[in-house]
Amino acid sequence: MTPENVDPLAPFLVPPEDARHRLFHGRGKTLPGWEGLTLDRFPPVLMATLFDDYPAPRLDALQARLIQALPALGCDTLVVQHRHRRPAETRVVHGALPATPWAEEDGLRYRLDFERGQNLGFFADMAPGRAWLRERAAGKRVLNLFSFTCAFSVAALAGGAGRVVNIDLSRPALALGQVNQQANGFGDADVHYLPHNVFRSWKKLHSLGRYDLIVVDPPSAQKGSFQVERDYAKVLRRLPKLLAPEAELLICLNAPWLGADWLKTLVADNLPGATLEGRLPGAPGFDEAAEPALKALAYEYRRGDGS
């Protein structure tokens, strides 16, 4: 196979039978030679993300093949992001972005931002987590820690949550979360947006009530605010003061160098009263040759004496 041969990608360049966004997940190491590529479909946009610096002939061949595939995929625009560059560089190489691009999932819309940096504001791999939360949210008080653009919040509101509290350091991310809330018809819902550092906001979070559902989905490494090995245990130890006597949690980790057993041990050591119910399945399209980078663990919580 020559370096310019993109034929192995052909099976992934067809319309999916389900509603998946991820068409190809090279990061899962299931197709040798293409470990540095992911393909995501947000009609009318097809997005290719490059984690490796491919030679120019190979990149040209890839872009030509993707442009050729656009009509069959229901798209007219190709965006290529060079994630391997610092900072990440995102370019429209064919067509034009819609004025208001969206990701659609289970009847809900999430605003995409192709100009904010390496993240679009929506993580397709967390679809099972949003479905899990939506199924359980009716009448519940929900806390969304490290909420980013509040996709979990929208899913909770769609499930009938009574109150949702979002907290994240990024004001622009929370602003996008408010756009998502309005766009899905939840403008009058009881939702709070806190642009604060989680570690300095426990009192404020407690003042908004005990929570029946908590989602913990921190960045694995965020300069100056969160390092997973150093800080995750600190978060878990604080949760009993925020949880209702009977509650549920979704404990998440996206760090390829740390396994699910590491996270399970961390919870067992730092959150008494939490019982593992199971691990959520991966989202469609995110096939992995080894253990997935994303771990999403569902827990039940029962408060013991003295909590």
Highest mean pLDDT among 15-19, 189-193, 223-227: 189-193
Q: What is the pLDDT of residues 47-105, one digit of tens each?
A: 999 999 999 999 999 999 999 999 999 999 999 999 998 888 999 999 999 999 999 99
Q: Map out the domains of the chain with their CATH numbers.
A: 7-99 (3.30.750.80), 124-302 (3.40.50.150)
Return the minimum-mean-pLDDT range out of 116-120, 259-263, 278-282, 283-287: 116-120
Q: What is the pLDDT of residues 82-94, one digit of tens each?
A: 999 888 899 999 9
Q: What is the pLDDT of residues 259-279, one digit of tens each?
A: 999 999 999 999 999 999 999
Tokens standing for residue 115: 């100009």
Q: What is the pLDDT of residues 140-150, one digit of tens each?
A: 999 999 999 99
- Give me the percent of the chain exceeding a pLDDT of 70: 98
pLDDT for the residue 305: 59
